[in-house]
Structures are given as structure tokens and as C-alpha cells.
Amino acid sequence: MSDILPSFNRQAVEPIECLKSGFALIKDQYWFFFGITAVGMLIAALVPLAILVGPMMCGLYLVLFERMRNRPVEFSLLFKGFEYFMESLLATLLVIAPILLLLIPFYALFLVGFLGLCMGSSTAETRQSRLL
């Protein structure tokens, strides 16, 4: 067992500093990183049930990690996220499942209310036409 213990930094996270350092990381190739992100999100959105969101996010993080290590970044690195397909799919499902569990009842209530409103308005129109 190792005697080296991890050190913890107990300071508050400074979001503005995080954004500044993140922008400083990509600012000289901003449009390249913008393009990689746009293509990754477009591919992720093409397949239903967010199946490709995980691999695309892994690819985006791999691109940023390579940039942080001052290594050359290539567009093809985005697709290396598929090497972690099963792990990223599991992580995506763990994130999306609670969201779906919360949204499905609200969609059901909306649908019932909408159908009730439609049925109510068609019944009122039928009554009005009978009176005329």
C-alpha cells in the first residue's frame, strides 16, 4: 500500500477564472474547436435516445486533453471517443434515466390535458351547431 496520500485543495471554485483559463486554452484555434464541437453535437443529435452523446463527449474531452498536454490536435481525434462506447453509453444512460423519469409524468399530464381540451372544444362546437 502506498504512503502517498492525495492532497485536497479546500478553496472555493472560481468560475470566472475557470472560463478564462478554458478560453485561453482554445483561443488561438477557436474556430477549429468550435467546428469539432458542432460536428460532435450534430452527430450525437442524429441518433435517437442519446446513444451517441457519450462517445461524442468522450471525443471532445480527448481533444481538449490533448490540447492541455500541448500535443497536436486533429479532427479525427473526435472519433476516438468510440473506443469508450460502452462506458460512455452507460454514463449517458445514468444521466438521462432520472431526467426521463421526471419528464414522462409531465408529458402524460400535458397529453391528457390537451386531449381533454380538444374533446371539450369539439363537444362545444357540436352543441353550437345543433342550436343553429
Q: Residue type at 112?
A: V
pLDDT digit string, tens, across residues 48-59: 888 999 999 999
Lowest mean pLDDT among 74-83, 103-112, 122-131: 122-131
Answer whether residue 126 shows pLDDT above 90: no
Greatest C-alpha distance within the chain? 91
Cell of 2: 502506498
pLDDT of residue 128: 60
Per-residue pLDDT tens for 72-102?
Answer: 999 999 999 999 999 999 999 999 889 889 9
Residue 40, C-beta contacts closer than 8 angstroms, at least 6 positions apart: 56, 57, 59, 60, 78
* DSSP string for residues in the chain: ---PPPP---SPP-HHHHHHHHHHHHGGGHHHHHHHHHHHHHHHHHSGGGTTHHHHHHHHHHHHHHHHTT----GGGGGGGGGGHHHHHHHHHHHHHHHHHHHHHHHHHHHHHHHHHHHHHHHHHHHHHHH-
Residues whose CB falls within 8 Å of the CB of residue 36, separated by 6 or more in sequence, listed in order: 60, 63, 75, 78
Q: Are residues 36 and 78 in contact, defined by beta-carbon separation less than 8 angstroms?
A: yes
